[in-house]
Amino acid sequence: MKLVSTVSSDQETWGFDYAFIDLSPELARLARRRVNILKTHKQADQQLDEMYFWDFHVEYFSPWKDEVDSADPLSAMLERLLPVAGDLLRAPDDFAVPENLLARVECSQMIIREEGIAFIAIPKHASYYIRTSEVPLPLLESAAGA
């Protein structure tokens, strides 16, 4: 399942408008295992809220990053995508982000919560985080084939 999420931050996020999440069955199963680990550890310590793992499964991008022909078709496609949960949009199986529209990030992480997962990263040469919308647990279970 391919998803596109809007990106948010406490700072201006020019060039980081969207995130592409290729939620393969393997990634969904990994995320579900991590959610189960969180729930197990939370039984021992109720103060545990969320867990973070280094992760590079997300591509951050903006269809307006470069003013070239590849941005127009991508922008038009994004307008046609249907929502699946919150700010998450379902992308077609052949969805791909052109290389020139990708944004460079550092410290990419997966956030594990009881209700689902989200992703954060630091834009290259910046000192703030950008974050995706949360992928809810039912969507993870669907993608995992459960």
106: containing domain = 2-144
Q: What is the mean pLDDT of each run of 10 residues along the chain (146 residues)?
A: 95 87 97 97 96 96 73 82 94 92 95 97 94 96 89
pTM as predicted: 0.91
**What's the total number of domains in the chain?**
1
pLDDT at 74: 84
Q: Return the amino acid letter for 73.
A: P
Rounded to whole angstroms, the Cα distance separating 135 from 146 reads: 16
Q: At CB < 8 A and 24+ separation, what contacts does 39-45 make? A: 39/114, 42/114
Pairing of strands 2-8, 18-22: antiparallel
Helical segments of the chain, H only: 25-44, 71-80, 137-144
